Amino acid sequence: MKRIVCLMAVSGCAVSAMADPYYFQSASGQNAWLNIDAWTGSGANQAVLVVDWQFMGGPYQTESHAFGFRWDGTAYESDMLNAFNDAGIFTVTSGYGGAFLENIVYNDGTETLSHADELGSWDLASTDNPHAQWGAMNGDYTKLGDWNANQAGYDQELLQNGTLDGINAILWFGSYPDGKTIDDYPLNVPLAVVPEPTALALCAVGGGLFLLRRTRTTPIA
């Protein structure tokens, strides 16, 4: 039982110091627990932004991070990123009048993630399935694996309630290490590992028994 408690503690070290598990209810009904670093905005609609910095500027301990955004009415992907920027959650830089993403710089409490080594090299897409697989761009540039690729500047991409918006760091001009290609670096959604209530109860009992045993075996001064 002591081992279970220790394993849970160790597994938490791989998660951002700021992340909290959140049960995301998607538009497709394929819901999932996600590690969300921060929320901003308010309203009846919600979307999750996932940014994967890969190894760019790293290697990083935790390359992929998720952020939640709420709003009412109509909002674009740029509104979401600007809201995170204005809230001080991360810093966004753009070009071409705000239509072209250049960089996102984020400090997760442990390290600062950035893609300054090749500004503007990102793939952007969206999905209503948290378990969708990110993959290679298809022939007509509409898909990145199971994700729907952005078809315009991110100031023209409408947000949809219950979806994930993915931004994946890539290299348009540089070379990937060890002969790998862009296809070897998919975006990864930071899914949360939430122990079942039974497992939590067992861990609590085990911790209590361990403390009780220590109390009984500790010599009295």
Question: Is residue 56 a contact partner of residue 114, using CB atoms and an 8 Å limit?
Answer: yes
d(CA 101, CA 175): 21
Token pair 């705000």 is found at 98
pLDDT of residue 211: 41
User: Is-cis flag, bond preceding 59, omega within 30?
Assistant: yes
d(CA 116, CA 194): 34
Which amino acid does the sequence have at 16? S
Better-scored residue on pLDDT, 8 or 125: 125
Question: Cα dist. 220→126, 140, 213, 215, 216 in Å?
Answer: 63, 76, 14, 10, 10
Structure tokens at 183: 């296809």
The structural domains of the chain, with segments of one domain joined by +, span 20-191
pLDDT of residue 18: 76
Structure tokens at 143: 């898909």
The answer, as to whether pTM is greater than 0.95, is no
Top-level CATH class of 20-191?
mainly beta
Structure tokens at 37: 């670093």
pLDDT of residue 19: 87
- Reported as a single tens digit per residue, the pLDDT across 164-197 is 999 999 999 999 999 999 999 999 999 998 866 6
- SS3 call for 214: helix
